Amino acid sequence: MPDNVVRATSSVGWLLLIVGIVIGVGIAIFQWAIAPDVSLSIKLLVGAIYLGMAFLLVSVLRQRLIDRKTDKYKDVEI
């Protein structure tokens, strides 16, 4: 297969995977948020933990993307 076809199918696969995960997680969060048997304090505590983890993940990804531009070892092959 040509290289551009492999890249295109890989990109579509990653996109579908990410969209599916985001939709699934969104539905799960919505269902959990409206559950009447979980107290508000527990919802806020768990929400704060996951939101903190999400902010840390985004900050690490952002920093890696910034550092990638000037990484002197990015073209080194092992």
Domain ranges of the chain: 1-36, 38-78
Question: Are 38 and 44 spatial neighbours (Cβ–Cβ below 8 Å)?
Answer: no
> Would you call 35 helix, strand, or coil by DSSP?
coil
- Model confidence, pTM: 0.59
As a whole number of angstroms, the distance between CA 45 and CA 47 comes to 5
Give residue-wise pLDDT tens across range 37-64: 889 899 899 889 989 999 999 999 999 9
Q: How many residues does the chain have?
A: 78
Question: Are 43 and 33 spatial neighbours (Cβ–Cβ below 8 Å)?
Answer: yes
Give residue-wise pLDDT tens across range 12-41: 998 999 999 999 999 998 898 888 888 989
